[in-house]
Amino acid sequence: MPMDKSSPSNAPDLHEFFAADPLAADYIFFGRKAYADRRGFLRGAGLAAMAAMVGAAIPFHRNMPAGFIPAAFADENVLVGKNGLTLLNDRPINAETPPHLLDDSITPTPRHFIRNNGIPPSEVAADTWTLTVDGLVHRPMTLSIADLQSMFEIVTMALAIECGGNGRAFFNPPARGNQWTYGAIACSEWTGVRLKDVLEAAGVQPNVVYTAHVGGDAHLSRQPDKLPISRGVPIAKAMTDNVLIAFGQNGGPIHPMNGAPLRLVVPGWPGSCSQKWLRRIYLREVVHDGPKMTGTSYRVPRYKIEPGEKVDKKDFVIIERMPVKSLITHPANGVEAGRAVEVRGHAWSGDRTVTAVDVSYDFGATWMSATLDAPANDGAWQNFRANVVLPAAGYYEVWARATDSAGVMQPHAIDWNAKGYLNNTMHRVALRVS
Ligand SMILES: Nc1nc2c(c(=O)[nH]1)N[C@H]1C(S)=C(S)[C@@H](COP(=O)(O)O)O[C@H]1N2
Ligand SMILES: [Mo]
């Protein structure tokens, strides 16, 4: 893996530059035209058009220093309260976190990635927000957040959310969609009530098979009768202890882009199950068929295919648990290092625990085992660290691989699918020892 341009080693100057005078930096970096009418331009055309105008290289993070966001976007409310995220798309807003900014055990709210399918609601007042629980329940209910807080036990848990398309950028043939590299993963500490407790209070009818989730965001077309996304989970998953209806993130309110004032958190399963701006949950006697539940959305072929192979729509199955994976959060990719380096990061495996993480600095010829922490609770990622002493000056790659409680280890190569889901290949970071 070459030292890429997103490496932090060549980023600080640009960051300082933007910090000192963002508008001047925009002018120099994006050019006069973008500077002159950046507001109207951004509103009218979006990031893709900006890229076309100033010459393709701008918005896509692999061409940009880590953590870089055009200053013009800092003016847009959506990124207020976020720090260091890399913008992939502005319609809808999608932004990921560079791995070295995910070093904390608990991801700070400013570093939690954003994955939107539609237009977030503009009105998210916590005191008037309601959640309706209906469908095949004995007692349909509409509850305020205060009702949820007074009727049910309040719990706080560290829970990892990973987008099903995290790692899509590395597919070959390429997969269309947001080009997530590594950072569509986060483990915030969520405060809320158990979905299970709420469903038990409503009374689950015996024929229930699946949940259906509805959020308050609008479809990109702004057609009021269209939902951008409505996913669900099997009722057995909904009834597990670590599935929360959350109203708090990291001891504060949920960030507006992470679903304030109320969201589901379904750890270990594709992030899409964790409906943001949660307004309604209804129970169904069939597998839910809302937008992005059917066809090839969040589904993969049920048999192994060749890269590029076409698969009949009927042969797709819904993605359930996310596979075993790890992320190196220190050192950052592309840095100069001394011979002694602490390699550290996180590992997770949806609905399972990680039992080992190994680290290699010689392209996988030899491996050493890392120290691995237990998860903070069921559904949290696990921290690992290893003291690596590199034998001599030169160029190295540090690789990490996790193994889970079922004995499944991360692969070297991508198990290809057309939509670019479930890339759990080993993370590799480049180092230069001088
Ligand atoms: N209402 C609503 N909920 C949603 C989405 C959305 O677009 N609308 N995106 C989903 C997807 S695909 C993911 S990966 C997670 C991301 O959560 P985050 O943006 O808080 O990181 O939210 C999920 N919940
Ligand atoms: Mo996602």
Q: What percent of the chain has pLDDT over 90?
A: 78
Q: Nearest Cα to 71, choosing from 115, 102, 39, 25? A: 25
Q: What is the mean pLDDT of residues 268-279?
A: 98
Q: Nearest Cα to 272, choosing from 315, 316, 210, 322? A: 322
Q: Which residues of 344-383 are buried (b: 16+ CB within 10 A; e: fewer)?
A: bbbbbbbbbbbbbbbbbbeeeeebeebebeebbeebbbbb
Q: pTM for the complete prediction?
A: 0.85
State CA 287 to chain mean position distance.
Answer: 24
What secondary structure, in 3-state letters, does 281-323 show? EEEECCCCCCCCCCCCCCEEECCCCCCCCCCCHHHEEECCCCC
Query: Six-digit token pair at 211?
Result: 């949940």
Please name the residue that has the structure tokens 């939690």.
Answer: 112
Residue 60 above 60 pLDDT?
no
What's the pLDDT at 19?
A: 57
Please tell me if the CB atom of residue 210 comes closer than 6 angstroms to any atom of ligand 1. Answer: no
Q: Which ligand approaches the C-alpha of residue 187 most closely? A: 1
Q: Which ligand approaches the C-alpha of residue 116 most closely? A: 1
Condensed to tens digits (0 to 9), the pLDDT of residues 388-398 reads 999 999 999 99
Q: How many CA atoms lie within 13 A of 82 on its CB side?
A: 27
Q: List the domain boundaries for the chain.
A: 14-74, 83-317, 325-433
State CA 420 to chain mean position distance.
Answer: 14
Q: Which ligand approaches the C-alpha of residue 419 most closely? A: 2
Question: For residue 238, how many other CB atoms are within 10 A of its CB?
Answer: 24
Closest ligand 1 atom, residue 163 Cα: 14
Q: How many CA atoms lie within 13 A of 233 on its CB side?
A: 23
Closest ligand 1 atom, residue 257 Cα: 19
Condensed to tens digits (0 to 9), the pLDDT of residues 107-122 reads 999 999 999 999 999 8
What's the pLDDT at 16?
A: 55
- Cα distances from 298 to residues 120, 168, 177, 321, 360, in angstroms, run 21, 13, 12, 11, 32
**CATH fold of the domain at 325-433:** Immunoglobulin-like (2.60.40)
What's the pLDDT at 24?
A: 59
> Where residue 124 falls among pLDDT bands split at 50, 70, 90?
confident
Q: What is the mean pLDDT of residues 404-427?
A: 97
> Where residue 363 falls among pLDDT bands split at 50, 70, 90?
very high
Please name the residue that has the structure tokens 């309706």.
Answer: 132
d(CA 318, ligand 2 centre) in Å: 13
**Contact indicator for 271, 224 with CB cutoff of 8 Å:** no
Q: Nearest Cα to 324, choosing from 296, 302, 294, 357? A: 357
Give the least confident one: 63-77, 327-341, 404-418. Answer: 63-77
Q: In angstroms, rounded to a whole number, what is the distance separating the alpha carbons of residues 342 and 398?
A: 11
Closest ligand 1 atom, residue 258 Cα: 20
**Residue range 83-317, CATH number:** 3.90.420.10
What one-character-per-residue DSSP string does 172-215 give? SS---S----S-SEEEEEEEEEEHHHHHHHH-B-TT--EEEEEE
- Cα distances from 270 to residues 61, 121, 254, in angstroms, run 23, 22, 19
What's at 54, amino acid-wise? V
Please tell me if the CB atom of residue 230 comes closer than 6 angstroms to any atom of ligand 1. Answer: no
Condensed to tens digits (0 to 9), the pLDDT of residues 218-266 reads 999 999 999 999 999 999 999 999 999 999 999 999 999 999 999 999 9
What's the pLDDT at 39?
A: 37
d(CA 228, ligand 1 centre) in Å: 10
* Residue 19 DSSP SS3: helix
Q: Nearest Cα to 323, choosing from 358, 354, 292? A: 354
Condensed to tens digits (0 to 9), the pLDDT of residues 165-180 reads 999 999 999 999 999 9
What's the pLDDT at 5?
A: 35
What's the pLDDT at 178?
A: 94
Q: Which region, left, alpha or beta, applies to residue 394 given φ > 0 means left and ψ of -120 to 50 means alpha?
A: left
Q: In angstroms, rounded to a whole number, what is the distance separating the alpha carbons of residues 51 and 58?
A: 5
Q: What is the mean pLDDT of the chain?
A: 87
What's the pLDDT at 90?
A: 81
Condensed to tens digits (0 to 9), the pLDDT of residues 290-344 reads 999 999 999 999 999 999 999 999 999 999 999 999 999 999 999 999 999 999 9
What's the pLDDT at 80?
A: 82
What's the pLDDT at 62?
A: 38
Query: Six-digit token pair at 330?
Result: 């220190």
What's the pLDDT at 7?
A: 38
d(CA 357, ligand 1 centre) in Å: 29
State CA 160 to chain mean position distance.
Answer: 9
What's the pLDDT at 157?
A: 98
Q: In angstroms, rounded to a whole number, what is the distance separating the alpha carbons of residues 325 and 350?
A: 9
What's the pLDDT at 305?
A: 96
Please tell me if the CB atom of residue 227 comes closer than 6 angstroms to any atom of ligand 1. Answer: no
Condensed to tens digits (0 to 9), the pLDDT of residues 17-54 reads 555 665 555 555 544 444 444 333 333 334 444 444 44
What's at 339, amino acid-wise? R
The three-point CA angle 215-89-13 to 5° equals 130
Q: Nearest Cα to 232, choosing from 282, 175, 182? A: 282
Burial class (CB in 10 A: 0-12, 13-18, 19+), 139: exposed
**Contact indicator for 117, 123 with CB cutoff of 8 Å:** no
Is 83-317's fold the same as 325-433's? Answer: no
d(CA 273, ligand 2 centre) in Å: 8
Pick 431 or 78 by higher pLDDT: 431
Q: In angstroms, rounded to a whole number, what is the distance separating the alpha carbons of residues 201 and 141?
A: 9
Residue 381 above 90 pLDDT?
yes
Q: In angstroms, rounded to a whole number, what is the distance separating the alpha carbons of residues 72 and 84?
A: 15
